[in-house]
Amino acid sequence: MKVRAVDDVSFQIRKGEIFGLVGESGSGKSTVARCLMNIYQPTKGEIWYHDVNVCDKKEARKNKKMLQTRRQMIFQDSASSLNQKMKVADIIAEPMKIQHVTPKRGSFRKEAAFQMEYVGLDESFLDRYPSELSGGQRQRVAIARSLSMEPEFLAADEPIASLDVSIQAQIVNLFRHLQQEHGFTFLFIAHDLAMVEYLCDRVGVMYHGKLVEMADAEELFANPVHPYTQTLLSAIPVPDPIRERKRVLRTYDGEELENSEWTEITPGHFVLLPHSESGKGVQS
């Protein structure tokens, strides 16, 4: 069977904003990001980065250096796939060496130390190997590496998904801090909607390869329009037990279920509504 991983998706990411892309596994988020970064070549369509259509092979080739230096990507497994044989200093400086970028701060080591400070690691880490770091520290190194080129556009594909829950918030805070500091345009792909709400200015929701909803983060979380977005948001745990008890379980087409029927709640099946708002809308 032919899968159309991404189908007729159109959106703009504005300069300097944090754009979140959410959706269940297999909905096409990574494919979108990989197309933006020229890792995948879309079969149809255009992707513009400034005035370059990056899908046009000739244009992409002509602007290769610009595209490879100004855009960087962090993958879910970036932290675990750091080169085990290289020291942190070399890992961070490697993209600069590959692209023949002259270090502004005198040496590649100084450049690496500078980036390390930004991600909250001191110089003593420069001579360590990845195996001598914790998961969170490795992710910080992966982030420092992607920032060594001082990118204008950063795409992070589920960068916190493989980290311990206790570390996730720290890394999200770090992204927020770095984005404010450097002002890069940021595409943040995540499963965790609470993190997306906290971090992102605008959010796009993907479902079966399509972009089904796009809105300012505040608006999307307060007033989701598409049934899938409503379902997705209803799956966010509600910590308040009183509020939790007031929720009504509904099937996807709006039918109310009795509390005794609460057996399983999976996105794609149910929308939860508080009693008071039944028939009106969906709470976040």
Ligand X SMILES: Nc1ncnc2c1ncn2[C@@H]1O[C@H](COP(=O)(O)OP(=O)(O)O)[C@@H](O)[C@H]1O
Provide, rounded to whole angstroms, the least separation between the CB of residue 71 and Mg ion: 18
Residue 237, C-beta contacts closer than 8 angstroms, at least 6 positions apart: none
**Is 30 an interacting residue with respect to Mg ion (CB under 5 A)?**
yes
**Is 31 an interacting residue with respect to ligand X (CB under 6 A)?**
yes
Q: Could you tell me if 137 and 125 are in contact, meaning their C-beta atoms sit under 8 angstroms apart?
A: yes
Amino acid letter, 191? H
Stretch that binds Mg ion, among 22-30, 39-47, 191-199, 253-261 (CB under 5 A): 22-30
**Based on CB atoms, which residue is closest to ligand X, 27 or 69?**
27
**Is 136 an interacting residue with respect to ligand X (CB under 6 A)?**
no
Subset of residues 140 to 199 that bind Mg ion, contact rule: CB under 5 A = none
Q: Could you tell me if 193 and 22 are in contact, meaning their C-beta atoms sit under 8 angstroms apart?
A: yes
**Contact characters 178-217, ligand X, x per CB under 6 A:** ----------------------------------------
Provide, rounded to whole angstroms, the least separation between the CB of residue 12 and ligand X: 20
Provide, rounded to whole angstroms, the least separation between the CB of residue 213 and ligand X: 15
Distance CA 16, CA 184 (A): 5
Residue 36's alpha-carbon distances to 49, 111, 204, in angstroms, are 8, 27, 15
Provide, rounded to whole angstroms, the least separation between the CB of residue 158 and Mg ion: 6
**Based on CB atoms, which residue is closest to Mg ion, 26 or 268?**
26
Answer with the entry of Mg ion, ligand X, none that 257 interacts with (C-beta below 5 to 8 A by kind): none
**Is 78 an interacting residue with respect to Mg ion (CB under 5 A)?**
no
Residues lying near ligand X in the complex (CB under 6 A) are found at 3, 5, 23, 25-31
Residues lying near Mg ion in the complex (CB under 5 A) are found at 30
